[in-house]
Amino acid sequence: MSVVWLRGALRYSLSALIACAFCGLLACEAERPEAGVPAPAAAAEDERPVVLFLGTSLTAGYGLPSDEAFPALIGERLAREGLDYRIVNAGVSGDTSAGGRRRLDWLLRMPLAVLVLELGANDMLRGLDVGALRDNLSAILSRTRGAYPEVRFVVAGMRAAPNLGADYARRFEAVYPELAQQFDAAFIPFLLAGVAGDPDSNLPDGLHPTAEGHRRVADTLWTELGPLLR
């Protein structure tokens, strides 16, 4: 992991903690169950199977128009290949694994075919308990499969900032492959591979991808997601 990305991570960690302490904006946004999800009436009109992207600001496309975020880019690929799925971007800036777990019941109203799980970066930046992260992600996957036994999963891995210590980093990064194996999920070892640390692929904060960065993320994700959908 590059020094540029790590510096950005440290800056974001401090700003996130300050925001939570003084105004609670990140937590409030993450706790809205309807955040990032189409209105029920609109969803009811489209009965296509859903590819759900459950994640953070990375999934939401922070700082970019929604059509430049990687879920929308995946939707364009599906359309080009004539694959009839509906993309739902349920990324929420500042969301943690606990926030995603709280939002899940709302999301399970839709006919899910694939769940792309991108959560944990904010848990890491806040130094939250790794055991709780594992429990939350496991609960999301388990409850989703309980509602849709034929659902397929893509688990997107994340790296830990080294300021949290080698032990924390080891335990944090191990959560993703362990869950992917447990739930027979397709696995992306590092969603930001080829993007993290590249100034041309990230916004000035050093954390959130540019439009070019999102195109690279979509390419990385498609290697696992594409075969599931064809």
Residue 4: per-residue pLDDT: 42
Mean pLDDT for the stretch of residues 47-74: 97
Local structure of residue 64 (DSSP, 8 states): S
Residue 43: per-residue pLDDT: 52
pTM of this structure: 0.83
Top pLDDT among 44 and 130 is at 130
**pLDDT digits over 208-227, tens only?**
999 999 999 999 999 999 99
Question: Six-digit token pair at 140?
Answer: 């999301």
- pLDDT at position 17 over 50: no
**pLDDT digits over 193-206, tens only?**
999 999 999 999 98
- Distance of alpha carbon 138 from alpha carbon 32, whole angstroms: 21
Q: How far apart are the first and last CA of the chain?
A: 33
**Is 142 an annotated catalytic residue?**
no
Among candidate residues 65, 68, 59, the one with its CA nearest the CA of residue 95: 59
Residue 162: per-residue pLDDT: 87
**Is 205 an annotated catalytic residue?**
yes
Q: Which of 13, 57, 97, 201 is catalytic?
A: 57
Query: The tokens 């739902």 sit on which residue?
Result: 88
Among candidate residues 138, 135, 88, the one with its CA nearest the CA of residue 111: 88
Alpha helices (runs of H) in the chain, residue ranges in sequence order = 3-22, 25-31, 40-44, 57-60, 70-80, 97-107, 121-125, 130-147, 166-182, 211-229
Tallying the residues shown for the chain, one arrives at 230
**pLDDT digits over 71-121, tens only?**
999 999 999 999 999 999 999 999 999 999 999 999 999 999 999 999 999
* CATH, domain 3-31+47-229, list 3.40.920.10, 3.20.20.140, 3.40.50.1110, 3.90.1300.10: 3.40.50.1110
Q: Which of 46, 105, 129, 205 is catalytic?
A: 205
**pLDDT digits over 153-195, tens only?**
999 999 999 899 999 999 999 999 999 999 999 999 999 999 9
Residue 38: per-residue pLDDT: 52
- Distance of alpha carbon 58 from alpha carbon 119, whole angstroms: 9
**Is 57 an annotated catalytic residue?**
yes
Among candidate residues 74, 107, 108, the one with its CA nearest the CA of residue 92: 107
Q: Which of 13, 97, 123, 208 is catalytic?
A: 208
